[in-house]
Amino acid sequence: MLNKLSSTAILKQLSIRRAITTQSLLKPIATTTFTRSLFYNQKFFNNRRYKQLTKSNTLLTSKMTLITISQSLDEAFTKNKIVPDVVDDFETQGLLSIEYGPTELVTLGNTLSVSGTQHKPKIQLTLNSPTEDGKIESINEGDKFILVLTDPDAPSNSDHKWSEYLHWLVTDIELPNLKTESGEPEISHFIDATQGKEIFKYVGPGPPPKTGKHRYVFLLFKQDPNTITIEAPKDRPNWGTGTPSSGVRDWIKANAPGSKLLAVNFFYAQNEDN
């Protein structure tokens, strides 16, 4: 627990890939919790970079991520075998902040309750600054996105006959407010699934008894702009292929091969009868 740390003090303690101007982006943090590699502000932000207008014009100011550490993200993906079980190694583009409720935040492998994750969460993408070599991309007008939630541990982490199990799939998501009022690229984007095509509706975690902890992995892709039509998976288990351990990686290659993975986040959940 870190108490009464200003944003300047945080920046001095961390090596951060993205150059952040403290005065323009961040306000002092009165109370901050450091959970693994994420900083979550426990007060609502007043800074407009962390505000998004929902479709009903309700202002969304939530406990979203303040700072990302790319190296720590990559280490978490490898340690928990998100890479290579779910996706191949990739260049992290930013952080996917996910909030089911005030006490149900997804923080790179924490354990959440099954009952607390049965409804759609709030999701926000905070981007790294684009680089000249193109490894870190910018978001432009007309870009669309694919949102995924998948379970690589179905029915258990030792038996993958249903893996991966598809929990949520939304394509063609469009993002509003790509520019700030001053015309600069917006770095923080609310991911509104209603602005896309919900191919498979959200189904919350349902790990069977005696199967241990399951990984529930959120992925956000920048959708292949050359993709005209996307074929829906035939079913949720194995993403409809009938092949154990088949899932989002194979589906993307078959349907939108030019899509680029931007960000990943994940949590664990298990049946109470374990």
How far, in Å, CA of 187 to CA of 69, rounded? 15
More confident residue, 78 or 66: 78
CATH architecture entry for 73-270: Alpha-Beta Complex (3.90)
From 195, 251, 188, 179, select the one nearest 219 (Cα to Cα): 251
More confident residue, 51 or 142: 142
Secondary structure (3-state) at 11: helix
Q: How confident is the model at residue 48 (pLDDT cuts 50, 70, 90)?
A: very low
From 177, 169, 181, 203, select the one nearest 125 (Cα to Cα): 177
Question: Is the pLDDT confidence value at 5 over 90?
Answer: no
Q: Are 120 and 170 in contact (CB under 8 A)?
A: no
Q: What is the mean pLDDT of residues 24-42?
A: 29
User: Whole-prediction pTM value?
Assistant: 0.76
pLDDT digits (tens, 9 = 90+) for 201-256: 999 999 999 999 999 999 999 999 998 889 999 999 999 999 999 999 999 999 99
Q: What is the mean pLDDT of residues 115-132?
A: 87
Q: Are 163 and 238 in contact (CB under 8 A)?
A: yes
